Amino acid sequence: MCRQRTKLPFSFLEIALITLLVLMTAVTVALLVLHFVTGESSSSNGKLSSFGSAQEEKYIQTNTPCILSDGTPPFQMGYANPDQVGGGLLTRLYSRAFIVAEPDDSRRVVFVSIDIGMVSQRLRLEVLKVLKSKYGELYRRDNVILSGTHTHSGPGGYFQYTLFWITSKGLIKPNLNAIVNGIVKSIDIAHQNMKRGRLFLNRGVVENSQINRSPYSYLQNPAFERSRYSANTDKEMVMLKMVDEKGHELGLISWFAVHPVSMNNTNHLVNSDNMGYASVLFEQEKNKDTLPGEGSFVAAFASSNLGDVSPNTKGPFCINTGESCDNPQSTCPVGGASMCMAMGPGTDMFDSTRIIAQNIYLKAKELYASAAQELTGPLRSAHQWVNMSDVRVQLNATHTVKTCKPALGHSFAAGTIDGVGAFNFTQGAVEGDPFWDNIRDQLLGEPSNETKACHQPKPVLFSTGEMTWPHPWHPDIVDVQIATIGSLAIVAVPGEFTTMSGRRLREAVQSEFGSHGTAGMDVVIAGLCNVYTHYITTYEEYQVQRYEAASTIYGPHTLSAYIQLYRGLARAIAMNTVQDLPSGPEPPLFNVTSLTLVPAVSPDRAPANKTFGDVLQEVNGQYRVGEVATVTFVGANPRNSAENMTEHNFLTVERYTSISGSWQVVQNDASWDTRFYWTKGSSSQSNVTIEWHISSGTEPGTYRIQYFGHYRRLFKQFHPFKGTSAAFEITNL
């Protein structure tokens, strides 16, 4: 709403915002001009810090850790918070690939779960291009599914659409290349280790791990529909268990709907959040006496219809007063929407991540042990590219509607209770704000009447489908895809479906299979696959325009369009007419440069009378279980290592073994109990602080901490170094 002002035409805050927006626009324009002056072709050749894989043919797997960001800018992808730049490493990010093939190798299906926020169109196109160069037509757009876990603490910078350049400081080639190479490497390992095996399916309910963060939207769905379900979130986990023909354990894929936002938008450490940590817990359970990222068993905890599902189970409350802000606008009496946040269940974000991960892991462990429903039958896959800006949907015999050019509503800028927005934006806005609309019109242009009408009742904040310079701001061409493994149908969706949207889609696909002679299909939604298109709400949820609806970019009939499209894929698979499906309009691959605000790495310097790796603050001589061992070193920019080394490890915790007289690595930079902090100082100097949070079960003994890095001289000369703490004792006393 427009405020009434008595003296000044704008508040000081609004004047500051206008100034900031003008400056940002000027910088963006300058960068885009630079893009055209220095244009070059993008390449998938880059340094790999390594990744992980599961394979099958049923499957075998070997994990190697891959860091996709390096403790420095760009923004971490997910919250779009300009203050959330990388500052270190909590856990490594992995790609976990699974290949299923028929015994005669006539058909294959590839599923890859990746510890990133989402799969971008650019990323998928680059991966498919590399796979084609290696394997010809074996791995294709129809039988390869790339799914992001949706961690909000991974890297940005791997998108080709302009909106995502702005929110992640441009296209950052080292990040794009590392992710592409990591995914391909995981598929390579899977491909090279195929063995005969068996698949088993199981389902079970996960308790105390999620809430609906937009319950007022959910309540707009018909009462008769809501009455069919016991909760306003999907609590069911679907588990796919893999063993070889001799019964040896190989791996699993689990699908469960929860946002990986236990680590909130104040976090600066790269990590895979609750779902990624659940994977690590399960893998360490099966790969005994190995470090994270090692061993043959692979556990992928993949995303599903998590659009309105939060892990912050204490619910929303006003951080300034402590009172509940569980209301339709998620606002507080004092401070408004910016004070309304959800937290929990732990004492801090690290504890909350651990608790949610533990809950998910324990349910998966139970389902894995009892899985008895064997999957048999053929493999099938179907894929189409669709122009989602112009899909005509037959609602019934007399009514046809269509989707819209992409646009974001005012409530998009409000954020959610998991990561609030800024200024005076609130969720549930069904009217625009003249103040913000005027700024938008001056800087970006006014939305057309057609777009405004198509998106009603959404008040359009950004008409991204009408913004095309220097490239489109949002995708028009979108992937829809289904792969079936026997009676399991994996519906790969290009965004974040809400709880009820996911339920409707699953039922529609299952019904379509059943009506064409393939009854009893188990349908699972795999989220954030292949290209990112924000959220998908139901038509009813769309009417109240909370964050998820404002972010449903193709308009109020987006879900109906997807249901129609996925029904078509299911029908083609059931009737064995996939070959007759039109492939659709191929998406563009833009000639994007390394257009980025991330500064180049400058030469590193050590303080006077010090060298890289020297200890600045030493460990204590003795610690007990439950305490934190901390050491600070003279450091160098971690991008030197992440961008130029293939198998780099930033830290180790080592235990002295008196029998052999040597040091044994017991923790590394992929371990949950270690934390790597990089602090940039003045004059190209920096420090690295390593923490080891000593957990229960740690053996008493003598330990040390080592730090590994590379410093940069002029002319891009990189030199390795290491630092070693003093030895210290761990006691039980």
Q: What angle do CA 16, 20, 21 make, to 5 degrees?
A: 120
DSSP H or E stretch at residue 559 = helix 558-574
Contact present, 712 and 603 (Cβ < 8 Å): yes
Q: What is the distance between the alpha carbons of residues 126 and 134, in angstroms, rounded to a whole number?
A: 13
> Looking only at Cα atoms, what is the longest distance across the chain?
82
Establish whether 566 is an annotated binding residue. no
Active site residue 310: yes
Q: What is the distance between the alpha carbons of residues 108 and 98, in angstroms, rounded to a whole number?
A: 10
Contact present, 439 and 18 (Cβ < 8 Å): yes
- Coil, strand, or helix at residue 155? strand
Q: What is the distance between the alpha carbons of residues 281 and 263, in angstroms, rounded to a whole number?
A: 17
Q: How far is CA 72 from CA 88, 330, 399, 524, 535, in A?
A: 7, 33, 52, 37, 29
Here the tokens at position 579 are 């070959």
Here the tokens at position 75 are 């923004």
DSSP H or E stretch at residue 589 = none
Q: List, in order, residues 6 or more apart from 600 with CB less than 8 Å away.
A: none
Catalytic hit among 214, 254, 304, 310 = 310
Distance between start and end Cα atoms, the chain: 62
Contacts 24+ apart (CB under 8 A), 602-605: 602/637, 602/684, 602/712, 603/684, 603/712, 603/713, 603/714, 604/636, 604/637, 604/640, 604/684, 604/685, 604/686, 604/711, 604/712, 604/713, 605/683, 605/684, 605/685
Q: List, in order, residues 6 or more apart from 516 with CB less than 8 Å away.
A: 570, 571, 574, 575
Residue with tokens 């794009």: 176
DSSP H or E stretch at residue 31 = helix 12-37
Establish whether 249 is an annotated binding residue. no
Establish whether 383 is an annotated binding residue. no
| DSSP H helices in 575-723 | 639-642
Establish whether 496 is an annotated binding residue. yes
Instruction: Work out the angle between the directed axes of helices 273-286 and 349-370 (0-180°, nearest 10).
Output: 50
| Binding residue positions for Zn(2+) | 150, 259, 496, 535
Residues acting as catalytic residues: 310
